């Protein structure tokens, strides 16, 4: 499946290695903190089971893992990423909070997902799947590693429908965010590239269709904050 900037997406983890030291601070500033709310919404959609074994793809600095671990249903979380720089920051946060028995980090590709079949109750990925070179193959492998009764939860940025909101959003993403992000991260074009991936990624029903093609059932999606982000859910039967 040919997608926007595939040649660069294959190397995108190197960008995250380079911006890892400033990533968390910039994320809070550029999202105005609303990403915290989005992750809490994701947590509220965990399946109603106990002793959940969770795989968080494109885990980065571990913010999703640190949000999910607060739910008593979660027994263990494996954060998987190709960026060792980002996971180094995540490991430091986990160690500081004394959660190393609940959260671990592993180097791994979110497309091929190096994990046994039917090994997780939940697979999550937040703001990462748009950077994968083949999101359909990633969805296929999410389905593969999920246990029967498991759930995939995908949180991703999307394009608002309402004209005024869309105009303001695009202006911010195309001009304001890249300017601030590139300057503060001291990276030439990291935030220019990462934001272009948002506009070129399928959202809403188009992405839900890809989830169904992967064999996930009961697929649904919820637009958050005027459609700036979307939470997708699919179950494994």
CATH topology of domain 6-162+201-235: Rossmann fold (3.40.50)
Q: Name the pTM for this structure.
A: 0.88
pLDDT attached to residue 14: 63
Structure confidence by residue, pLDDT tens digits, 120-174: 999 999 999 998 999 999 999 999 999 999 999 999 999 888 888 888 878 877 7
* 3-class SS letters over the chain: CCCCCHHHHCCHHHHHHHHHHHHHHHHHHHCCCHHHHHHHHHHCCCCCCCCEEEEEECCCCCHHHHHHCCCCCEEEEEEEECCHHHHHHHHHHHHHHCCCCCEEEEECCCCCCCCCCCCEEEEEEECCHHHCCCHHHHHHHHHHHEEEEEEEEEEEECCCCCHHHHHHHHHHHHHHHHHHHHHHHCCCCHHHHHHHHHHCCCCCHHHHHHHHHCCCEEEEEEEECCCCEEEEEEECC
pLDDT attached to residue 91: 97
Q: What is the mean pLDDT of the chain?
A: 87
């Amino acid at each position: 499946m040919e997608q926007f900037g595939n040649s660069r997406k294959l190397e995108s983890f190197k960008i995250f290695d380079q911006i890892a030291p400033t990533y968390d601070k910039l994320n809070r500033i550029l999202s105005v903190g609303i990403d915290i709310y989005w992750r809490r919404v994701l947590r509220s959609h965990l399946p109603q089971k106990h002793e959940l074994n969770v795989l968080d793809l494109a885990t980065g600095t571990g913010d999703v893992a640190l949000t999910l671990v607060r739910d008593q249903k979660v027994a263990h979380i494996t954060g998987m990423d190709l960026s060792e720089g980002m996971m180094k920051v995540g490991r430091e946060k986990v160690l500081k909070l004394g959660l190393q028995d609940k959260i671990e980090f592993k180097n791994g590709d979110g497309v091929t997902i190096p994990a046994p079949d039917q090994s997780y109750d939940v697979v999550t990925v937040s703001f990462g799947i748009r950077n994968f070179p083949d999101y359909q193959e990633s969805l296929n492998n999410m389905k593969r590693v999920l246990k029967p009764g498991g759930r995939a939860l995908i949180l991703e940025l999307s394009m608002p429908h309402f004209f005024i909101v869309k105009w303001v959003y695009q202006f911010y993403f195309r001009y304001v965010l890249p300017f601030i992000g590139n300057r503060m991260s001291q990276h030439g074009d990291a935030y220019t590239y990462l934001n272009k991936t948002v506009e070129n990624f399928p959202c809403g029903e188009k992405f839900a269709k890809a989830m169904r093609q992967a064999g996930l059932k009961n697929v649904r999606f919820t637009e958050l904050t005027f459609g700036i982000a979307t939470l997708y859910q699919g179950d494994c039967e």
